[in-house]
Amino acid sequence: MKLTCPHCQEKFNSKDIKQMNKSSIYAEKQCPSCLAWFCQNKKLTLIKITGISLLLLTSVLNILNIYSEYQLVFSTVGFVGIFVALIITFFGKNEKVGQPNT
């Protein structure tokens, strides 16, 4: 996956990133070119996490057969959730963040 640094506009491959702040839910990354930090837009990241959680939650409900009369509703909600999460993963913009306080 190609990423663009919001600081220096340099394009690089996500596997070129050497530093990543995993203590943040926003997955802050360091640009290999200018060494500045960035992450995906925080609002979008929250929506993405919600989408993935929805898929997990609705899948668990379906597997355990809880509220089986709503199975179709759960499947639809889960599908929409993961669909939105995927769109954000591929088209979400990166934004600048400060140095992580580690």
Residue of the chain from 25, 27, 34, 56 that contacts Zn ion (CB under 5 A) = 34
For residue 1, the 8-state DSSP code is: -
Q: Does 12 bind Zn ion (CB under 5 A)?
A: no
Of 37 and 74, CB closest to Zn ion:
37
Of 31 and 55, CB closest to Zn ion:
31
Of 7 and 49, CB closest to Zn ion:
7
Secondary structure of 46-102 as H, E, C letters: HHHHHHHHHHHHHHHHHHCCCCHHHHHHHHHHHHHHHHHHHHHHHHCCEEEECCCCC
Q: How far is the CB of 100 from Zn ion (least distance, A)?
A: 16
Query: Which residues form the interface with Zn ion (CB under 5 A)?
Result: 5, 7-8, 10, 31, 33-34
